[in-house]
Amino acid sequence: MLKFNKLVLALLGLASVAVLASSCKSNERSKATGWEYNNPENGGFEVAKATEQITGPGLVLVEGGTFTMGATEETPFYEWDNQPRKVTVSSFYMDQTEVSNLDYREYIFWLNRIYGEDYPGVVQKALPDTLVWRDRLAYNEPLVQTYFRHPSYQHYPVVGVNWVQANDYASWRTDRVNENLLIQAGILDFDPDQKDENNFNTAAYLAGQYEGLVNKGKADLNPNGTGVRNVRFEDGILLPNYRLPTEAEWEYAALGLIGNTLYNRVVERREYPWNGQTLRTDDRKYYGSFVTNFKRSEGDYMGVAGNLNDGASIPAPVGSYWPNDYGLYNMAGNVSEWVLDVYRPMTFEYVSDFNPYRGNVFKNVKKDVGGGLAEKDSLGRLQYVNVTPEEAAKRKNYRRANNINYRDGDYESTIQVQADWTNQINNANSTNMMYEYGVTSLITDHSRVVKGGSWEDPAYFLSPGIRRYLDENEASSTVGFRCAMIRVGSPVPGGK
């Protein structure tokens, strides 16, 4: 009987091995060559099962489409820099709320844990400028001390963050989300000893320059491989980058026209992220209350005691008031928000009518002398360099790396004749020909678009079409930000 049981167990073991081996084969074959995918016996070319993109933490899907971008009313300043034009925006994801003080403090904590001992300057560079609350003729000093740090404000939008800092936060968020996805999938274990260059960075991991604490890893079906490999982007586990939204994406999401669409037609163009000209709700429970946080009139930031109007003298918590038809909060009022674009007054005349954006500086990953990828830097990040003129010389879709000034600020768009015109065309820093900072203009290559009104603005600035700008290294008590992410694959879930 004992021998019989051993025989049965042996046969079961052989059967399980056979099942395991067969499970490595997908039975799906290439339509081009007929070879079977995911089969280590014929080379192990791996094809991930097609899946929908998961929604990253904090994001909601914004279904793309066509809309009229630009002014919804005449500007009292006679700045015709947002002439209406029809454009199409691809589907994308957007943060449901503005980034809060709590979100940003988590970022600062991580930076201090990883870099604080050897690179304290990294932490200092990321800190919000709390001095933005100071006013020469107002007593706002308590906000300097409390707004970013006190628990009472932890769900309020972070302010005092410049455009560069906001982009750095978005990059950090990409890495933390992707690291967590790999841990949840059992690929990696959490490594509490990460420090300096030894920390998870998505690009460095995909380039094979970060290994981490491997848990199960990813099975390598290549017969010449090591048996376990890093996850590739083709595996569909990692998410695309978090980033700032483009101006077109932000404006499209703010208008929320999905609620005003009937049979491929927008039945009512909105002036604000809601219908009508009023700033009050018709919700019976809150009838007459303001739908956003703004400055009602001179000196009136919150209303009269006992009957406050918008109920917030400074920014309100990030989930306050009513969301628009995409489910996004505070797309008008509370704080204005950074977007990716470089500001130019004539952008509307030149940008593409599909995913319009001004600010492209095309880059490549830096290579070493042998042609391979250069080693990551001391902070654990890959290094990038601008595309060279030689690399772009024969391209038809672009001819140089820096396209910030293309058709509005470069030498080709000036009416002045230059003696050394060819060399000046290739000069990336040519803006001064049209925008001489401090003399004829306040616009530079570092001027970034700011969208949406704030707690300190009157109603005019609540319209999503309004454009303002601020230098990318400046911060304000009225400007915050939220992140976005591209939607890959089908525009809507299910591939419809």
Question: Which residue type, as a one-letter code, is found at position 88?
Answer: T
- Is 239 within the bounds of a domain? yes
Question: By C-alpha distance, which of 252, 257, 444 is closest to 342?
Answer: 444
Residues 6+ apart with CB under 8 A from 325: 256, 257, 258, 259, 260
Are 109 and 255 in a shared domain?
yes
Mean pLDDT split into 10-residue runs, the chain, 496 residues: 44 41 63 94 91 95 95 78 93 98 98 98 98 97 98 98 98 98 97 97 97 94 92 96 98 93 83 86 79 93 86 95 96 97 92 97 95 96 96 93 89 59 51 74 94 95 95 98 96 80
User: How buried is 284 (Cβ within 10 angstroms: 0-12 exposed, 13-18 middle, 19+ buried)?
Assistant: exposed
Report yes or no: 26 and 42 within 8 Å, Cβ to Cβ. no
- Considering the domain architecture, whether residues 439 and 349 belong to the same structural domain is answered as no
pTM strictly above 0.85: yes
Tokens of 45: 């070319």
- Is residue 378 domain-resident? no
Same domain, residue pair 253 and 339: yes
Residue from 271, 343, 277, 331 nearest 79 by CA: 343
Q: Is residue 2, in this structure, part of any structural domain at all?
A: no
On whether both 304 and 415 belong to a single domain, the answer is: no
> What is the rounded distance in angstroms from the CA atom of residue 413 to the CA atom of residue 400?
16
Q: In what order do the strands lie in the sheet with 447-451?
A: 467-471, 447-451, 336-342, 479-480
Residue 4 is predicted with a pLDDT of: 44
Cβ-Cβ contacts under 8 Å for 11 (sequence gap 6 or more): none
And the tokens for 475?
């911060």
Q: Are residues 162 and 42 in the same domain?
A: no
Return the CA Rg of the chain. Answer: 27
pLDDT number for residue 40: 92
Are 122 and 235 contained in the same domain? yes
Q: How far apart are CA 194 and CA 75, in angstroms?
A: 52
74 part of a folded domain: yes
Count: domains in the chain: 3
Asked if 270 and 316 sit in the same domain, the reply is yes
Q: What is the pLDDT of residue 429?
A: 53
Rounded CA separation 322/1 (Å): 74
Tell me, yes or no, whether 428 and 486 share the same domain: no
Residues 353 and 429 placed together within one structural domain of the fold: no
Burial of 208 (0-12, 13-18, 19+ CB in 10 A): exposed
CB atoms within 10 A of CB 170: 21
- 145 with 41, same domain: the answer is no
Domain identity same for 67 and 122? yes
Q: Looking at the domain assignment, is residue 299 inside a domain?
A: yes
Task: Give me the domain span that covers residue 333.
Answer: 59-185+231-359+452-495
> What's the rounded Cα separation, in Å, for the pair 100 and 162?
14
* 228-229 vs 336-342, strand pairing mode: unpaired
Query: Do 73 and 174 lie in a common domain?
Result: yes
